[in-house]
Amino acid sequence: MAQSAGDRRRINGPEESFSPVFDDDEEDIKLKTQRSRAAGDIRPIFLQPGLISQANGSAYIETDKTKIACAVYGPRQTKTTTYSEKGRLNVEVKFTPFSCMRRRAPIRDAEDRSLAVSIHQAIVSSIRLELFPKSTIDVFITIIENDGIEGCIASASVAASTALADAGIEMLGLVSACSAAIVGDDIHLDPSEAEARASSGTVILACMPALDNVTSVWQSGHMTADMALKCMERCHERCIDIHSIVAQSLLEHRTAA
């Protein structure tokens, strides 16, 4: 991957370098698409609030290989001088260079932005922004290891909501999120990267299970409307499970502190 030329602010390597090419790539991909759990099962979740001591609130989430750290700073004063009655939510996503199979050169690309928008959408309607006029809440997300973009968006939304709760920011409810992929005629929940690549379409659902409200749905690829609704239903069921994990981890963190 080419480095951004002449970046004096970093230690630069050679002008060009390439990801190694393996002689048995196809075999490897076939091996990875095999699913070791049932179609309706999600990967085990490890969630720990409050790991980042410098932040107002934080959460670390691990779903099998996917590892994401999230920190909330603020609310702080908005920099722009125009008056706004509602607070702003600022979501920034960053991939570590070693988070994907190919190295990501440390320049902001379009994927960070689109991920940030999806996560923003998933959590923004849960926060009582009307309580923070002229203020901005910063949510910073670092993806340490990525195993499927869909799973990353879902896990990062859960982590962001947990971190916001840890920061003591008023919300209507905790957000949980789950993803699904159509593989053949089956619905596989929480697909890994190889599974998502082999699928014909994906759905990511974010909701507030306590209020039985949906905050964001993101469907891509082709599938029948029936299938999409079925995916959403399955995701919603899992979101209720995830919600209890989030609530439990927050409760344990509070009682330990």
Partner 1 sequence: MSSSSITKPSAADDTLRAQIFQRLHPRVYLERFTAEKFRPDGRTFDEWRKVSVNVGSISTADGSALVRMGDTTVVCGVKAEVAEPDLDLPEQGFLVPNLDLPAICSPKFKPGPPTEEAQVLSDRLNEALVTSGVLSLSSLCIHPGKAVWTLYVDSTCINYDGNAFDATLLAMLAALRNTTLPKATYDEETGRTTCSRKNRSPLQLERHFASTSFGVLETSHVLSDPTAFEEPLMDVALTVIVDDHGQLISTNESGAGISQETLLQCISRAKERASQLQRLL
- Cα separation of 20 and 249, whole Å? 40
| 244 is a contact residue toward partner 1 (CB under 8 A) | no
| 145 is a contact residue toward partner 1 (CB under 8 A) | yes
Nearer to partner 1, 27 or 130 (CB): 27
Total number of residues binding partner 1 (CB under 8 A)?
Answer: 46
Pair 136, 76: CB distance under 8 Å:
yes
Task: Pick the binder of partner 1 from 34, 36, 54, 77 (CB under 8 A).
Answer: 54
> If DSSP codes are grouped into helix, strand and coil, which group holds residue 213?
strand
Q: What's the chain's Rg over C-alpha atoms? A: 19
Instruction: Calculate helix-pair angle for 149-166, 225-256, nearest 10 degrees.
Output: 40
Task: Pick the binder of partner 1 from 5, 22, 38, 82 (CB under 8 A).
Answer: 22
CA-to-CA separations, 3 to 17, 33, 99, 188, in angstroms, rounded: 8, 31, 17, 37
Six-digit token pair at 105?
A: 């050169």
- Cα separation of 152 and 165, whole Å? 20
Pair 179, 192: CB distance under 8 Å:
no
Nearer to partner 1, 141 or 177 (CB): 141
Among the listed ranges 19-27, 207-215, 231-239, 245-253, the one in contact with partner 1 (CB under 8 A) is 19-27
The beta strands (E) that lie in 106-175 are given as 135-145
Nearer to partner 1, 112 or 217 (CB): 112
| 71 is a contact residue toward partner 1 (CB under 8 A) | yes
Instruction: Give the x-and-dash track for 92-131 against partner 1 (CB under 8 A).
Output: x-x-xxxxxx-x--x-------------------------
Residues that bind partner 1 (CB under 8 A): 1, 9-14, 16-24, 28, 51-55, 65, 67, 69-71, 73, 92, 94, 96-101, 103, 106, 138, 140-142, 144-147
